[in-house]
Structure 1
Amino acid sequence: MYHVLLAVDEDESRSTRIAEAVADLPSASTEVFVSIFHCFVDNPAGASATQVGSVRTVQNLLEEAGIDNQVLEASGDPADAILEAADEEQVDAIYLGGRKRSPAGKALFGSVTQSVILSAERPVTVAGKTRTAE
C-alpha cells in the first residue's frame, strides 16, 4: 500500500487540486491510503480538522474516488508539523499545494512548501490551484 500524507490548508481550490493529483495516481482506489493532514497555526476555539471546509472537501473527493483515508491534525508551525506527521505515519510521499507567485517570486515557493521540499526525507509533490475553464 502506497501511503500519502496530503497536507491541506484552508484554500479549497488548492486543496482540491492536490487531492485530484492523488486520485489520479495509478490504482489509487486499491493501492493508495491517504492521511489528510491539517495544521492549525492558531486555534483558540478548539476546532477539529474535520470542521475545516477544505478538509471535508478533500475527504469527500477521496471517498468518491474510492480511496481510503484518515484525517490527522496538529498545531504549530505547519512545515515542522507536516514533516513530523510524515515521519510518524511513515508515509511514502508528501503532497501539498503551491501558490501562484508574482513574476519575481516564481523562483521561490511559499515558505511552508519550500521548507518541506528542502527538509523532507521522502518525495514531495506540489500542485497548484484547480484549472478553470477558459
Structure 2
Amino acid sequence: MSNVLLPIDDDERHAKDQIQTVLNLPLETDELTVTVLHVFTDNPNSASITQLRSTHLIQEALEDEGIAVELDERSNDPADEILSYAEDNAVDVICLAGRKRSKTGKLLFGSVTQDVILNTNLPVLIAGTDSVE
C-alpha cells in the first residue's frame, strides 16, 4: 500500500491539479491511501478542513476512483507541519500544488514548497498547473 500526503490550501485550481497528479500515479487505486492535510496559519473562527471546498473536490474525485481518503488538519507553520506529519506517519510521497510564476520566480519554488523539498528525504511531487475541469 502507498500513502500519499496531499497538503492543500483553499485554492480549488490547486486541488484540481493535485487530483490529476494523484490519478496519474502508476499505482492501483485500491493500493493507495491519500491523506489530505490543511495547515491553518490563522484560524480565528475555528474553521475545519471539512469546510474547505478544495477538500470536498479532492475527497469526491479520489473516492470516486476507489482511493481511500483521510482528512487531517493542523495549525502553525505550514512547512513545519507538513514535514512533521510526514515524519510521524507512514508517508511514501508528498504531493504539493505548483504555482504559475514569473520568469524570475521560476528560479525558486514558493517558500512552503521549497522548505518541504529541502527538508525531507521523501519524494515530493509538484502538481502541474494544467487544471482538470
After TM superposition, the score normalised by the length of structure 1 is 0.93
Q: Equivalent residues in 2 for 1:1-134 (5 A)?
A: 1-131=1-131
What CA distance in whole angstroms lies between the structure 2 residues aligned with 1:102 and 1:28? 36
Contact 2:6 2:35 in 1 (8 A): yes
Q: Which runs of 5+ in 1 are unaligned?
A: none
1:28 CA displacement: 3.7
Q: Deviations over 1:10-54 (max 9, x none)?
A: 111111111221122223421111111111111111111011111
- Length, aligned pairs only: 133
Contact 1:18 1:127 in 2 (8 A): yes
Q: Which runs of 5+ in 2 are unaligned?
A: none
Stretches (4+) displaced over 3 A: 130-133
More deviation in 87-96 or 122-131?
122-131
After TM superposition, the score normalised by the length of structure 2 is 0.94
Q: Deviations over 1:68-104 (max 9, x none)?
A: 0100100110000101111122200100101111111
% identity of equivalent residues: 46
CA RMSD for the aligned pairs?
A: 1.5
